[in-house]
Amino acid sequence: MEVQLNTLFVVTRAATVRRDHLTLQVLVEKQLKLTVPVHQLDGVAVFGGVHVTPSAMALCAENAVAVSFLTESGRLLARVDAPGSGNVLLRRVQFRAADDEGKRTEVAKAVVAGKIHNTRNLLLRAAREAASPDDQRPLAAAAARLGDALPSVGAASSADSVRGYEGDAARVYFEVFHHMVRQNRESFTPDGRTRRPPLDRMNALLSFLYGMLRHDCAAGLQAAGLDPSVGFLHVDRPGRPGLALDLMEEFRPLIADRVALALVNRQQVTADGFTPREGGGIEMSEGTRRAVIAEYQKRKRDEVVHPTLGQKCPVGRLWFLQARILARYLRGDLPAYVPCLLKN
């Protein structure tokens, strides 16, 4: 367990998070391992069989610290937040916009265009760095196909057609994903994109990273006063944070995919850190999860220039800024939602 960028991550099985006055304590087998003042935290993320006491959750709610419960693979199960968080007037505007086919389509187009643009840049970077023409050629070809798809996304007339283009782009991307894996390719080549459960090591790694990214995007949306559950690209489903999934699309290649590839290519994670489980899924060891969390938080500390605002900021602040840009669009202060487009 560790605190990074104001989020407490607890990954140790059978750990307990409890309250002690105005602090949170983490115990493992009744041994105190960590004490953190609640005012130093923005969020708590617990993975797997971690117990959070009711008094600890109450302390977090009183101090606007969201508690996210995730599976060991990183899938978000539940998020406990303070009652009345957010801006009711902004949320009413958000709900009306989500029911408006025109606005729903416009936001969906921006989200998917941002994802495709950032994915294309990741492929182009990988093609430049590839040592073999057998890797370079398919990566460059896939990047070209994604570039060709962008005008079609911009001309889409419905959110359903945008979802179709997004699915096509994802298939193109994952068909060549293994060409970006430079170390232990035989162990980390994904069989397409699989989830619930992930069926290979790379998909297990990606699912875990996507879970953390979804947690962070939900926090950014709530900080901006928006409801993470009601999205534009993703259809409403009970228990699914549709808007958080929308927001994270543009950040998947920028952060999660890039971190996964760096971990494998630098051999910071290895094949023996993953074990098969009943039902055909793959499970990461505790040590591997720790290494993934450390690299993810390191990436969040990287400084970039926000392409719209022109200001330097850490990567870990991008989704907070994007959530505010989306809120301004919904209020009518901006003519369109502009996704975060970065060069990898």
Can you give the residue ranges of every domain in the chain?
2-70, 88-331
Sheet holding 43-47, edge to edge: 2-4, 7-10, 43-47, 66-70, 76-80
Write out the H or E segment, with its range, that includes residue 79: strand 76-80
In the prediction, which pLDDT does 344 show? Answer: 57
Label residue 280 left, alpha or beta by phi (over 0 means left) and psi (-120 to 50 means alpha): left
d(CA 337, CA 334): 7
Across the range 29-51, mean pLDDT stands at 88
d(CA 146, CA 130): 19
* Res. 55: pLDDT tops 60: yes
**Taking the chain, what is the end-to-end CA distance rounded to the nearest angstrom?**
30
In the prediction, which pLDDT does 146 show? Answer: 95
In the prediction, which pLDDT does 307 show? Answer: 86
**234-243, long-range: CB < 8 A, 24+ apart:** 236/98, 239/78, 241/76, 241/79, 241/214, 243/94
Sequence-ordered alpha helix ranges (H) in the chain: 54-62, 88-98, 101-129, 133-154, 159-176, 185-188, 201-223, 242-249, 258-265, 286-301, 318-331
In the prediction, which pLDDT does 235 show? Answer: 87
If one compares 75 and 236, the residue with the highest pLDDT of the two is 236
For 2-70, CATH gives 3.100.10.20
Radius of gyration for the alpha carbons in the chain, expressed in angstroms and rounded: 20
* Res. 106: pLDDT tops 90: yes
If one compares 247 and 308, the residue with the highest pLDDT of the two is 247
In the prediction, which pLDDT does 100 show? Answer: 94
Vertex 227, ends 225 and 229: CA angle to 5°?
165
Give pLDDT tens digits for 202-231: 989 999 999 899 988 988 888 778 999 999
In the prediction, which pLDDT does 220 show? Answer: 83
In the prediction, which pLDDT does 73 show? Answer: 59
In the prediction, which pLDDT does 316 show? Answer: 84
For 231, phi then psi, to 5°, come to -105, -175
Q: Are 190 and 170 in contact (CB under 8 A)?
A: no
88-331, CATH topology level: Four Helix Bundle (Hemerythrin (Met), subunit A) (1.20.120)
In the prediction, which pLDDT does 195 show? Answer: 67
